[in-house]
Chain A
Amino acid sequence: MNLPLEISNLRKAYKGGTVDAVKGVTFTVKPGEIFGLLGPNGAGKTTIISTITTLEKPTSGSVQVFGVDVQKDPLFTKRQIGVVHQEVITSGFFDVEEILTFHSGYYGLRNNKERIHFLLEKLSLFEHRHKKVKQLSGGMKRRLMIAKALVHNPKLLLLDEPTAGVDIRLREDLWRFVEELRNDGMSILLTTHYLEEAQQLCDRVGIINLGSLVELGETKAIIRQYTHKKIRVVLTEKHLLQSEYLREVIGKEYLFVVPQNKTLGEFLSEVTIPTALIQDIHIEEGDLEEAFLKLVSRKDVQVPL
């Protein structure tokens, strides 16, 4: 079966650019998954999206959408793709509904009112459908761009930082909507700065820095590999605890940073804490942000203890 997206050894050097924006990146998006491309500014995320949509031509390597090279049969691949660009598009002449109607036409759909109204409802834009783009708030513009990307019900959705500038409540609505789309069978590639949400949404992530993938895998596995468990033990009175994992003592609170593969049982038997003194134990699992920071700082991919 052909994968929704298959990127092999993608390299992109901009004309006049001093460094390669993308230096040999390989990854796939599997059917029905949400794949997150995470990386700091300038990492090359938008460049990768641009090569998929053919806005930019790869310097070398290939991009295939459902088994078809985007450079060889762009009309086919473009029909499969919906894209939400990072920059907000502000077309001044037409209102929301007109924009969506024209956009449907570009995808060969003449009578798409039903789908357009469905999307307007879904994205809470229905009452704004006769407004011009400049009359919309930042969040509404963003949602309009999402509606545009979805008019032709694409099989592969590319979201380039779709929640930038959208307030928290709306952001959560959007993520719910993205999950809904995935549940309906859409495959989704998304780039984002919001690691918390990437952690919540993405089945797999690729972490990119300076044009190269530094890690690729299931979100959970990456978190497990690159983070520690934080165990905070609160005692009823001060006590001398000795352990290689002990990081910090604040009053009667003891912070231990423990490898993910160590069970709580192993930990407790190694660090002998008098049970009677224990008031509370808090366990904090590591998160994607922690893993991300470790990976993109690149000083040491091994977790220092």
Chain B
Amino acid sequence: MTGFITIFQREIARFLKVIVQTVITPFISSFLYLLIFGVSLGEQMQVHQGVSYLSFLIPGLMMMGLINNAFQNASSSVVSSKFSGDLEDLRVAPVTDQEIIWAMSLASLVRGTIVALITYSVGALFMYYRQGEWLMVAHPLTTLFFVVMAGLIFGMIGISIAFWATTFDQLSAFSAFILLPLTYLGGVFLSIEHLHPFWQAVSKANPLLYLINGLRYGILGVSDVNVWTAAVISTIGFVVFFAVAKFSLKKGSFQRW
């Protein structure tokens, strides 16, 4: 237990040292996204009944920031530890793989949540300024559920990939060629209702669609997919990636680069 608490504290302390990067980057990027897409582009768009494009966009951006930051936090922590060699310390010390996974993915969740909250705040200010109304959270517990799931799942994915990775390039390849397209095609910017039925079916095979729409349902009360389906798929994702992370720690490499 002490091992878990220590690793968690260490992970938090680590990203607090780069707090500017943690806070400013999402602040600027969500500001830009909202400005370009939400305001200029979405002026006339109505996606769902009674929901402006601006408010539709906010949960999507929150989830995108959350997922990216959870993934980055875990993977860069493991990889930089591989680089300096102190990942071996964790293997040599009496801490269990479970403690490592939980501590690292929870810290990733914390960082992702900070980013999501910043995005939410920026979005809420935009909405107030444009539409004169505050963005309220429709279903707080549902919101919390999908935030926690997404943070943990992508923390674990980050851990898994970093343990197998042998170069930095492999990490950026995952971000650029898998994570980014899946987020963009997962309904961050567009409701899949507007797509051709074929592409709708394809989109439904994208697991990120369920996290994004789950959170959208939590905040706005509207979603492209059934919220229970989204919850079940997220839970399955959580179980699967926990197992993958455990396997990765067992078989992957703690060795320094």
Q: Chain A interface (Cβ within 8 Å of chain B)?
A: 53-55, 74-76, 78-79, 81, 83, 85, 87-94, 98, 102-103, 105-110, 133, 148
Q: Which residues of B contact A108 (CB under 8 A)?
A: 2-3, 94
Residues of chain B contacted by A133 (CB below 8 angstroms): 84
Residues A87 and B92 in contact, CB atoms below 8 Å apart: no
CB contacts (< 8 Å) of B3 on chain A: these are 105-108
How far apart are A90's CB and chain B's nearest CB, in angstroms? Answer: 4
> Do B10 and A109 have beta carbons less than 8 Å apart?
no
A106 close to B95 (CB less than 8 A): yes
The CA-CA distance from A169 to B70 in the complex, in Å, is: 48
Check B14 for interface membership: any CB of A closer than 8 A: yes
Cβ contact within 8 Å between A106 and B256: no
A105–B6 contact, CB under 8 A? yes
For the complex, give the distance between the alpha carbons of A81 and B84 in Å: 22
Supplied contacts A54-B91, A55-B254, A93-B17, 15 more A-B pairs, CB within 8 Å: A53-B91, A55-B255, A76-B94, A78-B94, A81-B92, A87-B85, A89-B86, A90-B84, A90-B85, A98-B13, A102-B10, A105-B7, A107-B3, A109-B2, A110-B2
Q: Is the CB of B13 within 8 A of A78?
A: no
Contact B88 A55 (CB under 8 A): yes
Bound-complex Cα distance A83 to B88 (A): 11
Interface residue ranges, B against A (CB under 8 Å): 2-3, 5-7, 9-10, 13-14, 17, 80-81, 84-86, 88-96, 254-256
Contact A55 B91 (CB under 8 A): yes
C-alpha gap A92/B6 in the complex (Å): 17
A contact residues around B91 at 8 Å (CB): 53-55
Nearest CB on A from B138, distance (A)? 39
A-B contact pairs, 9 of them (CB 8 A): A89-B86, A91-B81, A91-B85, A92-B80, A102-B9, A105-B9, A106-B93, A107-B94, A110-B5
B2 near A79: Cβ-Cβ < 8 Å: no
Cα A86 to Cα B218 in complex, Å, equals 52
Residue of A at shortest CB range from B2? Answer: A108
Q: Nearest Cβ in chain B — how far from A7, in angstroms?
A: 17
C-alpha spacing A74/B80, complex, angstroms: 25
The complex places the Cα of A75 from the Cα of B14 at a distance, in Å, of: 26
Task: Please measure, in the bound complex, the distance between the C-alpha atom of A85 and the C-alpha atom of B80, giving whole angstroms.
Answer: 18
* Least CB distance, B216 to chain A, in whole angstroms: 36
A102→B81 CA distance, assembly (Å): 14
Distance in Å from the Cβ of A129 to the closest Cβ of chain B?
Answer: 16
How close is A205's CB to chain B, nearest CB, in angstroms?
24
Q: Which residues of B contact A74 (CB under 8 A)?
A: 94
The answer on a CB contact under 8 Å between A92 and B84 is: yes
Q: Complex Cα distance A75/B98, Å? A: 13
* Of the residues B84, B94, B96, B255, contact of A91 by C-beta under 8 Å: B84
Compute how far the CA of A103 lies from the CA of B17 in the bound complex, rounded to whole angstroms. 18
> Chain A's nearest CB lies how many Å from the CB of B81?
7
Tell me the bound Cα distance from A85 to B84 in angstroms: 13
Question: Which of A75, A87, A93, A109 sits near B96, CB closer than 8 Å?
Answer: A75
Cα distance A106–B80 in the bound complex, in angstroms: 18
Greatest chain B CB density within 10 A among A76, A81, A92, A148 is at A92
Residues of B close to A94: CB separation below 8 A: 10, 13-14
- Using CB atoms, name the residue of chain A closest to B16: A93
A53 to B2, CA, bound (A): 20
B6:A106 contact, CB within 8 angstroms: yes
- B92, A54: Cβ atoms closer than 8 Å: yes
Contacting residue for A103 out of B5, B85, B89, CB 8 A = B89
> Closest A-chain residue to B256, C-beta based?
A87
Closest to A158 in B: B92
Bound together, the chains give a CA A55 to CA B10 distance in angstroms of 22
Pick the contact of B84: A78, A79, A89, A105 (CB < 8 A).
A89
Residue of A nearest to B8 (CB): A105
Instruction: Report, nearest first, the 6 A-B pairs whose CB atoms are least far apart.
Output: A105-B6, A106-B93, A78-B94, A89-B85, A91-B86, A108-B2
Q: Which of B90, B95, B255 has the most CB of A within 10 A?
A: B95
* B6: A residues at CB distance < 8 A: 102, 105-106
A173 to B62: give the CA distance in the assembly, Å.
Answer: 56
* Chain A positions within 8 Å of B2 at CB level: 105, 108-110
Which of B10, B13, B91 is most buried by chain A, counting CB atoms within 10 A of its CB?
B10
- Nearest to A56 among chain B residues (CB) is B255
CB of A53 within 8 A of CB of B92, answer yes
Q: What's the minimum C-beta distance from B243 to chain A, rounded to whole angstroms? A: 21
Give the one of B6, B13, B88 with max A CB within 10 A: B6
Distance between B227 CB and nearest chain A CB, rounded to angstroms: 40
